[in-house]
Amino acid sequence: MTTPAHVRIFDTTLRDGEQSPGCSMSPQQKAVMARALAELGVDIIETGFPASSQSDREAAALIARDLRETTLCVLSRCLAGDIEASAKALEAAAKPRLHVFISTSPLHREHKLRMSKEEVLEATARHVTHARRLVDDVEFSTEDGTRTEEDFLAEVIGVAIAAGASTINVPDTLGYTTPAEIRALFQRLIATVPGARNVVFSAHCHNDLGMAVANSLAAIEGGARQVECTINGIGERAGNCAMEELAMAMKVRGAYFDADTRIDTRRLVPTSQLLSRLVGMPVQRNKAIVGANAFAHESGIHQHGMLRHRGTYEIMHPEDVGWPASQMVLGRHSGRAAVAHRLESLGHALQDEALDRVFADFKALCETQRVVGDDDLHRLVRGNDDDDGYRLAAMTVSDRGRRASALIELSGPDGAHVAESALGDGPVDALFAALAAATGVDLKLESYHVHSVGIGNDARGEANLSVRCEGAEYQGTGTSKDIIEASALAWLDIANRVLRTRRPQRLSAFA
């Protein structure tokens, strides 16, 4: 039995990932993220592009002083000034790598560089040699490599190897190639370029056509032993190869790829969530591996299968990537078996007519509420004899002046009215602050989305919130002609559920 090939993970979240619009990080935030990446087990961290900004230089130096076991890399154009700035930023690094690149495709040579083939070859030899004099570990990239004439691509790579590059990266900069093409390209380059067997070939794939992970895996099949990727797949335009997807594909299909990484996959979800908090970019719920729905099941057929054997609908254990467990999400598509199982786990062993009644009430509730939680189930078992919580009676929101203000009035569970006002950085911030003051519920907002439901005169605004409160995660939905009112209703939807969990649960009459 052969030992699986080790594929180096080159993480460029802090460089290419940060170039994603709206994802800039301060040097301190980069340092926090870099420590998380080191703990995750990445082999190389690309910390920035020192010649581009003072912030990148500070981040590279800060991380270099902090991390001593992980190879730290910075990016440089084939320009003497860039290379000098990069070498200076790496002075404190225990394991420095200098990453130089030049465009090689016809489009880039003509319109970006305005250089001939001969000039590109000469620049490659001169600048890789310069970088190699300053740093022992040099990586060379052929920007837009997959759209470069293959004979010229091979010639440039041969020059870079001869000049001292020990890693050769062939980027699919525009996300243009296909798995079959990139697999064959790497096979031919490694087989024919002089010195190719003595260096590590790397793939850097973008996701413009949604094939970044597939192309990276194909490159591995073609002989690549390093993949450049990012957490959550962030990066220019549609992003980069998502590290979490690549790592788990190799782990789950290890026998097929005969390759693996050193990634501690149990840290994938925490690292994903850290990045999301740092840059303020939420992860889509159906994102593979790290999305909130990746191990969530609502369909009655799927839930029934999961209750019999988890392998029926899961190819990975959620614990292996950092989730605490699979989720049986109770909603409109859930069946009787899943509802009965969850009720029993909550201490309500209902049978026959009692279960029929609760399941009928559950289905009715699903028409107005997308997800039914444990507190909702307790209430259904008790026969809905609880009050309905706080209701919105009146609301005034103003965004004039330096800060927004909100005045809200709620009808309380006991029939009394309560009014509160608050200031905020915007109308929604002020609204949520006033609601928190009125209900005594402090919700930590994780994500907030608004969109239109329906068309024309029937269109309504829907607000969706994801929050954390008292150690639990909640989702709430509100719908109204007015999007601010929809936001208030979504907030109250969650607050009322939180308040119900605080009350002592009464024993079920059917238990």
What pLDDT shows up at residue 493?
A: 86
Mean pLDDT (the chain, rounded):
91
CATH number for the domain spanning 472: value is 3.30.160.270
What is the SS3 assignment for 260-295? Answer: ECCCCHHHHHHHHHHHHHHHCCCCCCCCCCCCCCCC
The upper half-sphere exposure of residue 162, i.e. CA atoms within 13 Å in the direction of its Cβ, equals 13
| 365 and 489 housed in the same domain | no
Pairing of strands 96-103, 71-77: parallel
| 212 and 274 housed in the same domain | yes
| Residue 457: Cβ-neighbour burial (10 angstroms; 0-12, 13-18, 19+) | exposed
Least confident of 120-134, 153-167, 316-330, 361-375: 361-375
CATH number for the domain spanning 176: value is 3.20.20.70
pLDDT tens digits for 15-53?
999 999 989 999 999 999 999 999 999 999 999 999 999
| 130 and 229 housed in the same domain | yes
Mean per-residue pLDDT for 332-357?
Answer: 88
- The per-residue DSSP string of 143-174 comes to ETGGGS-HHHHHHHHHHHHHHT-SEEEEEETT
Which residues are annotated as part of the binding site?
Answer: 16, 204, 206, 240
In a domain, 289, yes or no: no
Mean per-residue pLDDT for 466-478?
Answer: 85
Domain that holds residue 340: 296-381
What pLDDT shows up at residue 459?
A: 73
pLDDT tens digits for 88-123?
999 999 999 999 999 999 999 999 999 999 999 999
| 172 and 264 housed in the same domain | yes
| 359 and 396 housed in the same domain | no
| 225 and 356 housed in the same domain | no
Q: Which band of pLDDT confidence, cut at 50, 70 and 90, is reported for residue 506?
A: very low
For residue 367, is pLDDT > 90? no
In a domain, 509, yes or no: no
Domain boundary among 231, 248, 279: 279
Mean per-residue pLDDT for 196-213?
Answer: 98
Q: For residue 28, give the amino acid letter.
A: Q
| 337 and 438 housed in the same domain | no
| 266 and 319 housed in the same domain | no
What pLDDT shows up at residue 388?
A: 63
Residue in this structure with the two tokens 């910390």, named with its chain if needed: 47
In a domain, 396, yes or no: yes
Which residues are annotated as part of the binding site for Mn(2+)?
Answer: 16, 204, 206, 240
For residue 280, is pLDDT > 60? yes
Q: Which band of pLDDT confidence, cut at 50, 70 and 90, is reported for residue 9?
A: very high
| 307 and 445 housed in the same domain | no
In a domain, 65, yes or no: yes
In a domain, 41, yes or no: yes
| 24 and 144 housed in the same domain | yes
For residue 362, is pLDDT > 60? yes
The number of distinct structural domains making up the chain is: 3
- The per-residue DSSP string of 348-362 comes to ----HHHHHHHHHHH
| 376 and 332 housed in the same domain | yes
Domain boundary among 224, 245, 279: 279
In a domain, 507, yes or no: no
Q: Which band of pLDDT confidence, cut at 50, 70 and 90, is reported for residue 508?
A: very low
DSSP classification of residue 241: -
Tokens for 469? 């409160």
In a domain, 28, yes or no: yes
Least confident of 209-223, 361-375, 476-490: 361-375
Report the C-alpha dihedral over residues 433, 439, 444, 449, rounded to 10 degrees: -70
Tokens for 20? 């994603």
Q: Distance between CA atoms of 221 and 219, rounded to whole angstroms? A: 5
In a domain, 225, yes or no: yes
| 71 and 205 housed in the same domain | yes
Mean per-residue pLDDT for 418-439?
Answer: 94
